[in-house]
Amino acid sequence: MKILITGGAGYIGSHVVKQLGEKGYDVLTIDNLSTGHKEAVLYGRLEVLDLSNKEKLKEVIKSFSPDAVMHFAASIEVAESVKNPLKYYRNNTANTLNLLEVLQEFGIDKFIFSSTAAVYGEPENVPVKETEPLNPINPYGKSKVFVEKILEDMSNAYGFRYVSLRYFNVAGADPQGRIGQSYKNATHLITRALKTAKGEYKKLYIFGTDYPTPDGTAIRDYIHIEDLANAHIVALEYLLNSGESSVFNCGYGHGYSVREVVEAAKKVTGIDFPVEETDRRPGDPAILVADNSKLVNNLNWKPKYDDIEYIIKTAWNWELNKKF
């Protein structure tokens, strides 16, 4: 079975490539290496290619003839998307349209899309169900909503089948320490906390302590990267077994506050790194937690690593020993 992965040299994509390879799938990764790393691609072949190059994309897809495609390639920084929205609409939306047009041309009709909880904006109901209105509050979230709408229309028009996976807060690393998060500009709380523990940052900032939560800091649903990668595997198997187009939230269904994560990071690392409390960031909801019952019940997804200290432990091991 041949699976094409776009963005497979990035954080999430590379863990999916790893799990596909371990299961014996024939994997081809496409990545422009703007934020990914060739060393992260542990299985299959890597083709260095930008999705804006439609003619080259056609050549690669025609030659490989995949049975299904998993699409991770995207720009992901919310703050950057506000400052430079056109980059996000070009890379996340227009380039995805390029990819989808090529798949349509060659009759490839099974597609898994890397989406995000940012499509919900500031949801009224928590835990968030997939039926919650899509109301993104930044260009990053909007760029993903546009793709979801295109996929819905393609499914209705052509019999194209897709699964859109809406991620909540992804963290952790390969338990064997081979791959992990390696962004130049870390924005995720756990990664920034661990880099502060290492001394790469002088202090960790807590943005907002006046939220309507038990300790005043925002609450988020943190999912281990291995469990998220496994959600892609069960979604792929669902499509390969004639499953209908659908959307699933990817989270654990409960959350941790910023202060709880910071304390867990200090416990795991054994380092009492400096923390400074400051004002809220615009657009940060108080609580963002997934209702994952659809993923659990419909795809029989069984997470293994629902433990914040284990999540941080694997991320810390990667930070201390990372190879790229």
Residues that are catalytic: 140
- Transcribe 146-190 into DSSP letters: HHHHHHHHHHHHH--EEEEEEE-EEE---TTSS-----SS--SHH
Collapsing DSSP to helix, strand or coil, 5 comes out as strand
From the centroid of its chain, how far is CA 13?
8
- 47 closest CA partner among 66, 68, 61, 35: 61
Task: Count, in order, helices (H) and strands (E) of the chain.
Answer: 11, 14
Contact 70, 3 (CB under 8 A): yes
Residue with tokens 């609450």: 219
Which positions ≥6 away from 281 have C-beta within 8 Å?
207, 208
Tell which residue, 288, 264, 256, 254, has the closest CA to residue 204: 264
Between strands 169-171 and 222-224, the pairing is parallel
> Which residue type is seen at 317?
N
Give CA–CA dist 154/64, Å, rounded.
Answer: 23
> In whole angstroms, how far apart are CA 43 and each of 22, 23, 112, 174, 286?
8, 11, 19, 14, 39
| Cα–Cα distance, 14 to 21 (Å, whole number) | 10
